[in-house]
Structure 1
Amino acid sequence: MHLKALEIQGFKSFPDKTVLTFGEAITAIVGPNGSGKSNLSDAIRWVMGEQSTRALRGGKMEDVIFGGTEKRRQVGFAEVSLILDNSDGALHIEEPEVMVTRRYYRSGESEYYINRRSVRLRDVNELFMDTGLGREGYSIIGQGKIDEILSVKSADRREVFEEAAGISRFRHRKEEAERKLERTEENLVRIGDKIDELELQVEPLRHQAEKAKKFLLLRDELRGLEISLWLEQLDKLRAAMVKASTDCEQTARQREEVRQKLEALYAASEEISTQMREKDLEAENIRFTVMQRQTDANEVESAVAVLKSNIQNNLDNTQRIRQELEQRGDRAQALSAQIGERKDRVEAIRAEQAAQRAALAQREEERKELDRQAGALAGELEELRKKEQLDTASAGEAKELLSALAAAAQELLDRDGAVRRALSDGEETLSALEGEAKEAETALREAKEERENLQNVIQGYTLRVQSREKKARAAEEEHMRLQVEEKSLQSRIHMLSEMEKLYEGYSKAVRLVMNEAERDRLRGLHGPVAGLIRVPDRCAVAIEIALGGAMQHIVTQREEDAKAAIGWLKRRDAGRCTFLPLDAIRPAQFRERGVEREPGFVGLGDTLVTCEEQYRNVLSYLLGRTVIAEDLDAAVAMARKYGHRFKIVTLDGQVLNPGGSMTGGSVSRSAGILSRANELERLQEQSAGLKVRLEEALRARSEAGREEVAARYELENAQEEQRRIQERIAQLEERVGQYRQRLEEMHRARDERREELEQLSQRSAQTEADTQKARARIEELEGSAAALRAQAQGKEEGQSHFRARGEALSQETAAIRARLDALDAELGSSQQALEQLEDLRRDLMGDREAQAALLAEYESKNRDLEGEIARKEGELETIRRENEARQGELQRLSEERLALEGKRGQADKDAREQNGVLLRLEREVSVLEQRRAALDGEQKSVLDRLWETYALSHEAAQAQRIPLESTAQAQRRVAELKKGISALGNINLDAIEEFERINERYTYLVDQRDDVEKAKKELTGVITDITGEMKRIFAQQFAILNEAFQKTFQELFGGGRAALELEDESDILNCGIEIQVQPPGKALKVLSLLSGGEKAFVAIALYFAILKVRPTPFCVMDEIEAALDDANVVRFAHYMRQVADKTQFIVITHRRGTMEEADILYGVTMQERGVSRMLAINLNDAAAELGIE
């Protein structure tokens, strides 16, 4: 196998497609610095899977894409293809030629191809594993590889030796097995967590499921017992109904006979009453006349009494007026005197108020001025006290400072000597440590650059994995959710389909007839009405109520078909059914106009239902005169307007029947046959859509899973590389950290000592100056404090005077305010009294003149009244004589009425006896009618319970009736069942299915845990086997390589000795590898003591030894001989020619000796800035043409 060609496009400085064809021996690539020669080795390294941007001499992976120049635009991707001759099958691919391609886009997407088939990075790595090729192999040797083999740390050389020993594939398999083991353990933990979580759910769900199953058993038993008890109750109620009806009719006949006798007695009593009323009317007329005349007499007597009373009143008023006239003169004089006194007092009060208010204003103004002066004085006093305290405190502090300064001066002298001694000792140690720290930081910086480059790659892979994980998780959750939903839906559909198939909810007769029809024993049967129609959900309840039992009517093709079915039922005593022959049914006519415009009108029943056209007459017959209304209010309004001539049903199931009766109450919305059919149709539509969504979710889940696995693999490869680099960085950081810490400590100590010396000098001078200032300050502060105390004492005396004057003003002000309040009250009362006195005086002066005129009027009236009294007394005597004559006539009429009243009393007595009998009979009839109505209500109640509880008609319930040994025992059992159901508490019927699902998941996880634990044991065994095999192979190959290295070293150096040594032979897979060399004529040395050229030549010798032991198909050498002198370059080139029969060499070089050994020479130029171009010369062909051997 050898490298045939390299194709580059868009990679670094090669924007155009460039193809390099290689010979089977040595190809040299030459060119000036910066022309892009090393970009070719980077391209080969990159296409074989290199992920480190540092190894590719870049900052981020995007740097490998041609970035553009002043004349060229940047390209969108970089692509490199490696074409290998695989005629010997070394790459384990059954194709003679293998092309490996890598493409990278600016978006961060990376693609790998083998023979134009898309593969993963892992596939590329495995293709080159143990061939010496690949990013971890030794097929590309540059200065980095030379540094790596010459690394100070012997452990860093291991990768090259492992690849040479051929155990890289085993290590990769081992690490992969260890990662699988780690993931297996993580899976075990995750599965364990899920099992723990499910264990918390399984037992509660098991308990709930058992409760639910027990509930279903109890409910089914309760259903059978309740139906049978209710049917038995119906039988008893019907028997009692028949007896009550018979008793009621018999009692009603007796009631009619008694009513006729009572009416005759009432007629006789009414005749007597008529005669009595005539007598009463005549007597009443006479009494009315007597009363009228007596009223006239009473009026006359009253008039006389009034006249006499008026005379006496006039006399009394005359006497009173004369007395008042005498008294009013005296009172008027007294009131005038009182008014004068009041006016004088009001004026005096007002004058005193003005004086008191002036005095109050003066006191308040004086008080304000006093408060202002006192406040200013208090502020001054407080300020003086504060100043005094500050001066006293400052003087104390100055004294303390003076004592401290004396002690500090001596301490400064002692410290200065100690610091100067320590500073001299630290300078020597610091100089040696800085050199060591610089070397460690250089190594750390290079390692971090490599880590940062790899971190960019990992971030891209991580984002991709997270995106794929999220997508896969969402797809899995969606698939599981849809599965659960689909399973639940199918379960519900199956249950409803079985109910439809078994005609659940229909009467026994309907079920039997339809079963016969399905067996083709009865022909022409289309099915029950409920199964032939479809109703919108909104109207389902209304249509069910409107149809009622008609939902179970069976539609037949012809009347003969209905007759045949009826005959079959009759022969088998299978119950009764109603049949609707299509050739006999006629549609109902709805003749009321304008109903559709009424508020709340929804539609006629038959127009709201869909069916095949052949059943339209049946629907019209059943629902054609039924109106569906929005609510009960709208229904009542329509019924009243149209005289209750048609049936109205509301959307919630309330019914207004023709004639005015109403039926209503609560209605189950999901128990009806129509609701079941609607629900089944709706669920089947949902199921079809759900299946499509399930298929889409399954495809999405599979695709997301594949994408996640691919992304995770790429991420794991990058993370593996990152862990290796991180370990190296951690070691370097620890070393650098130690150096930095020691340097910082030493620099800080040196600076601190220098600063401290300067500060000590300054502090000494400052201490002396501060001492002098402190003494002067103490004298100044003590004098100031004494002066302030004297000023404060004078201010305190003035403040006492202000306080005394303020208290006196407060007392005076309070007294003036109290006097003003008293004057205000007195002024108000005096003014009110004055007004009252003036009103009285005015009244007295006006009344004297009126009373004198009134006295004369009273005397004239008395004379007229005495004449009127004489005339009235004459009229009174005439009325008395007329009334005495009429009283005799009233006595005669009274005696005649008493005789008639005796006759009527006897008739009433007989009527009361008959009326008692009638009332008793009516009560008996009423009780019997109530009994009959109650029995009828009980029957309806039982039938309603049957329908609302179990959606069964009476006929359908009969089919489910079970024989009862004892009604009392059955009732006790019903009570026990209800108590048992109640004791179960809240029932979760879904728990049965949920428990099965969770338990299945739990069992699956337990089995999976067992499988994972088994896999863990197998992986542990595989790791052990691989480790043993690796030790065996490495030990064997290491010995061979050591021998080859000794020979190669001697051949290249012309003598000397060299050896490879394991640092710890007990741990040959992890220990470091030391290189011991002894150039000719020199002592045995370690690598670190060799010159730069010697180190490079030792590394070259080692690589040639590796190529001898495990030759690679090709080897790229990037200026590895740059450090050699001309003689050693020639040795290097000649030795390369010796091994070129087994390994193809592509050499990037500047050295003449290397170029002379090349068969093909490629020149790299950069005629256009930033763009590399190739020029090829086949030196063998040129030599043949020139005749050179």
Structure 2
Amino acid sequence: MYLKALEIQGFKSFPDKTVLTFDQDITAIVGPNGSGKSNISDAIRWVMGEQSTKALRGGKMEDVIFGGTQRRKQLGFAEVSLVLDNSGRLFDMEESEVMVTRRYYRSGESEYFINRHAVRLRDVNELFMDTGLGREGYSIIGQGKIDEILSVKSADRREVFEEAAGISRYRHRKEEAERKLERTQENLVRINDKIDELELQVEPLRAQSEKARKYLVLRDELRGLEISVWLDQLDRLRSSARKLLSDYDNAVRQKGEAQQALESLYAAAEGYAAQMREKDMEAEGIRFQMQQRQADANECERAVAVLKARIQSNLENADRVRRELEAQEGRAGSISGQIAERQARLTEIAGRMEALQAERAAAEEAGRQVSQSAGTLQAELEALRQKEAVETASAAEARALLSALAAAAQELLDRDEAVRQELAEGEQKLSVTREEAARAGKELAKAREDRDSLLNIISGYTMRLDSREKKARAAEEAHVKLQMEENAVASRIHMLAEMEKLYEGYSKAVKLVMGEAERGNLKHIHGPVAGLIHVPDRYAVAVEIALGGAMQHVVVDSEADGKAAIQYLKRRDGGRCTFLPLNTIRPSDFRERGAAQEPGFVGLGDELVEFDPRYAKIFSNLLGRTVIAEDMDAAIAMARKYGHRFKIVTLDGQVLNPGGSMTGGSVSRSAGILSRANELERLQTQSEAIRAQRAEAQRAVEEARRERTAAAYELETAQAQRRELEDSILKLEERGAHFAQMLESQETQRGELRGELEQIEARSRRTEEDTRNARARIQALEGSAAALHTEAEGKAAGQDDLKARMEQVNENAARLNLELAALEAEQAASRQALSELESLRADITGDRAERETMLAQFQEKNGTLTAQIGEKESVLQTIREENREKEEAIQRLNQEKLALEGERNRADRESRDKNAELLSMEREVSVLEQKKVAAELEEKQILDKLWETYQLSHEAARTQRQTLESIPKAQRRIGELKRAISGLGNINLDAIEEFQRVNERYTYLTGQRDDVQKSKTELERVIADITGEMKAIFAQQFSIINQAFGETFLELFGGGKATLELEDETDILNCGIEIRVQPPGKALKVLSLLSGGEKAFVAIALYFAILKVRPTPFCVMDEIEAALDDANVTRFARYLRQMADRTQFIVITHRRGTMEEADVLYGVTMQEQGISRLLTINLNDVEAELKIK
């Protein structure tokens, strides 16, 4: 194995990608001081995992990245790759070539790669461990390594010898095992503490658990007996309730028959009323016909009046026509005189028009001559004005250029101001940078003060963590208690919800109907009355008693829906059920409104409950005539005052029935069908409150845990801060260097801005010169344009004279045209008037004959109108006779209506009698219903006890029923069991589970303690084995290295002797190592008594001895022979050649003797300041070419 190549990019003074290739011989890297040749050894050290910036000759890791020069910007990352030959499989990898790469970004991120696969730093360290390579090995030997060997502290030399002995991997494993052992010991202490705590709980919980188990045995026996006794009572109660139910059903049936008879009477009365309405409608129809005929008669009378008026109008028109004939005789003579006057005027107008037309022709000829002269003058004027426009446009362009130059001058002025402002800001930034540098110095002093106060802070954080631990435990206990309470309420809610879902407490028929409706087989089923109503707790008992059996009535949409449900019950033999169709149920009318003012009046039953408005008629029917009273006294007083006409129920469930009967006694306080929903709602509210409390408790637990975590974090942070403060001081120093760079950058920027100011001033001068030239051109162009304008004005004046002459000619022509037009208009008007006069004269002649014809027509029309009046009077007589007949028909219908009204009154009397009979039946049904309700309540009490005591429904309880010898004997045993349970005292049922949990925890921790103890023993054994193996290997290798050291020393020094000695041979793994040497011709000395050159040569001899015993694949030596004289350099170089067959050497040197022994020379130069470049010379090729050696 050997080093094949080194690739560097962005590392220190190598910004560009640089590749160094190596052969299996000696390579020397040479160059002047400061050229960057030692950066190559730093690059190799860095890529092999070096983390110390001091070892890399820097202040911070960012310093390894190329920092830029005056000509080149800084880079954002540094990357170095090491290519190693692995054909000998030194590394446990299949590849024959291994590339190790390290990349570091200026942001602080670091990456490692092996064969271009991302790995950890640990993986890189393990790759080189025990190979002599790596940051702790001896493959890179510089002045630092020489100093380590020559250190006064002999213990500092151990790392080199351990790596050479090959026990670094063992030491790493031993340290890891010791860390595991320390953690195991801590776990063992923690487990023992928990076991001690649990031992205090186990025995008390054991006693409580046994007591709880005994209680459970007694409780189970008591449970079986009580369930069986209660079921026996329930069976006897149901047996007696069946006869009561049969009587109740018969009474309801009879009540239904009476109700049907009453409804028949109501229907008969309604039939008579319908016939009466029909008679009224028929009479009303006849009256409507009479009104229509009377309207026809009125129309005839109006028509006769109109005809008579038209006759009178015709007579008046005839008289007017006669008068007009007499007037026309005088007008005919006047029209003939006017015609003669018009003809004379037309002759005069024709003569005048001929004279005007001759005058107009002369004026038009003069106008043509003036127009021709004006055209010639206009052409000359347009040419002058065109030249003037060209000059004016050129002047405008010059002015635009002048504006552009002004804008450019302003822009330069603005930039000058901006640059000067930037200069001022730069000065301000420079001042700020200096202030920040001073502040960094203050922060450095503050960091040192903080370091001294951290110990007190850590003590306070420790006390705070203990307090937060106690608070967290208390919050967790409170949360567990609320959780148990919430579970109990949730169990009760689940039980009540199941009862609601299963319609517990409803009859079998109701359950069957609702089940079928929920499956979608019965339509339009709204549900039982009790499920459609919400009753406040205060009125629950009163409303439940008032409703009685009606709570189990089922509301449906129509009779058809009720019929379908009844047929279903008949098919299933499911019992009986009452259905309330929404479309037929009538609301009750409570007329005794004065009762609301009576003492103790609470309200009407349907007004004290809440329900969907759709069911208003249902609950009005059921509760609309039921008054809720405060107590029995108020109810009795109210019933007496209103004659026992309505039902009254007190708040505690006592009933005063219509008619005077009373029902009362004790009422079960357990949850009924109505109050069950209220209890469920109340429990849900309680559950939400508990849930809110538990959420608050959970938040308290989380807060306590956060505080505990925060306290632990604060403690950990404080402990970490002590270690970080030194790093903070280093960062503050780095900030100072950063500020220095900023100052330099700001000075450079200031110089650039000053140079830009000079450029701006030069451009401003050029702009001023261009502006002067533009103004001169504008002045010349404007003068030329003014001269052309003056000449054009002269031409325009001559044109104005021609225009005046032309206007005079045009005005004369216009006057003549206007006068001609006026004469033409007068001529046309005279001709029109003459035509009209002649036409009027002809009309007067023809109009006379027409008017005589009109007189004859008026006489003819009056004869026709007289005949029409006779026809209308005949129709009017017919209508009057028809209306007399219709009045007789109305009188007959009124008599028939009176007969029907008598029949309806008879039916009303019979319905009142039947209604009284029905009320009697309703009272009987009510009494039976109260007995039925009382039986149901007693049954409910037993079922409630089953549920409240044991959370069992009737069906579930029957599965746990036992066969009893006798009820009295069972009841006596129940008493004995209750006394025995009472004698046990307080029972903690949770103790069973708690004991099991704690005992399991105790058993688990005990086993865990044993496992941890075994792990501890095993780790101690492993550490002992590793230690023993390390001692054996180190002792063996140390002896070999010691012998090799003596031989190497003898060869290099040409005599003398050298030995290595352990300071404490009983502790060879930890003791220091002493180097004793005796140069030729001198006494035996310790290392510290030698000269500087001798010390360096001894260190070189020791490293050569180590390489002889455990050769590394390659070795980098960075000017380690610098302190030697020329003779010793020659010896060093020859020995280097002697060992080159086992180890590849890369030597950084400036000594001639070392260079001469090298096979390849890499020259490092710095042609550009701050940037290193390579020059390669293969000396073997040179020797072959020059045929020298």
TM-score (norm 2): 0.46
Q: TM-score, normalised by structure 1?
A: 0.46
